[in-house]
Structure 1
Amino acid sequence: MQLIEATAEDIDTLIDSWYTLASGMADYSEFNELVYESAGEVPEDGFRRLLESENVSNYLVEEDGETIGWVTLQEGEHPSREYTSYTKIVNLLIREAYRNEGYGAAVVSRVKELAREAGCDHLKVSCEWHNQGARRFYRDTGFEEKQVTFVQDLD
């Protein structure tokens, strides 16, 4: 398994991966409701901006030349804390046919290496509270639950 940094040529793959992940999140909260009926309707401009961002990286997860997933990483810092520099896993998707085969854990392991190489001292990740599978996966890969995010409609 390898992580290959995504380029503008991978926009369609990124959109398809994002749409797959986002579609699965819709069941967890009305705030996850999609406005697009298919991946083909999703505009490319947001993904182009992500690829140009200095603190965000997108990687295709590849096995034997086949894209089996995708991960988005964001670097940041908390200058007033003991743990100051972090890498956040913003998105992580392993295609359904490849799940429960160790690829997700391998991605997290590789992300740890990338974070250390970037000088980070900790990893962060968030998932939907009711997504028990994701919560179990992150606990099993060494993360601890730390924070709850709240959301509110402004209408």
Structure 2
Amino acid sequence: MNIKIRPVKRQDYDRFSNIMDQVQQLHVNWRPDVYKPANPLITKEMFEEILKEDNWYVAEDSERVVGVLEVLRRHVESPSQVTKDVLFISTMAVDEAYRGKGIGHKFFEKVKQLKEEKGCDTIELQVNARNQRAYEMYKKYGFTEKSINMELK
């Protein structure tokens, strides 16, 4: 595989949308009390707005989009926390046929590059508690737990 990470383009919509739908369905399966089916999760109108932003990327294998990445820059400044700039991975989704083939690692290489370019201090993300595969990948890559979200129904 020859994976290239690049900014999202208008012609990526169908594959982009399909990958986002796959991941949404995983969330629905794990937590139907929280997530609901949405197909498409990303409408064409929403995609047009995404194209105006500079924080969305795709992983491409031989001109086929196989993954989606969104990163957000957040400035943290308060009396109770150390001031820092965080590069937050908001979305990292890989086509089911390509999972476990190193796409996530390619995305992390891009995120590390963006962290340096944007002058951020740290990289953060959240992972669904039931997504053990992603959790293990993040740990392997060096992420550590910062906090744990809990709920009471």
Common fold by TM > 0.5: yes
Note if contact 1:51-1:57 (Cα within 8 Å) is conserved in structure 2.
no
Note if contact 2:15-2:66 (Cα within 8 Å) is conserved in structure 1.
no
SS in 2 for 1:82: strand
Q: Output the amino acid matched with 1:33.
A: K
User: How much has 1:102 moved relative to structure 2?
Assistant: 1.8
Note if contact 1:83-1:121 (Cα within 8 Å) is conserved in structure 2.
no
Q: Which runs of 5+ in 2 are unaligned?
A: none
**Inter-partner Cα distance in structure 1 for 2:110 and 2:119:** 14
Q: Which runs of 5+ in 1 are unaligned?
A: none
> Which residue matches 2:148?
148
CA 26–110 in structure 1, closer or farther in 2 if over 3 Å, else same: same
User: How much has 1:6 moved relative to structure 2?
Assistant: 0.8
The C-alpha deviation readout for 1:92-124, integer Å capped at 9, x for no partner, is 122222222222112112211111111111111
> Which residue matches 1:64?
62
Note if contact 2:12-2:65 (Cα within 8 Å) is conserved in structure 1.
no
Q: Output the amino acid matched with 1:117.
A: E
User: How much has 1:83 moved relative to structure 2?
Assistant: 5.4
> Which residue matches 1:19?
21
**Inter-partner Cα distance in structure 2 for 1:27 and 1:72:** 23
Please say if 1:105 is aligned against 2:108: no
Please say if 1:10 is aligned against 2:12: yes
- TM-score, normalization by structure 1: 0.82
> Which residue matches 1:45?
45
Normalized per residue, which structure has more strand? 2
**Inter-partner Cα distance in structure 2 for 1:83 and 1:116:** 17
- TM-score, normalization by structure 2: 0.83
Number of aligned residues: 148
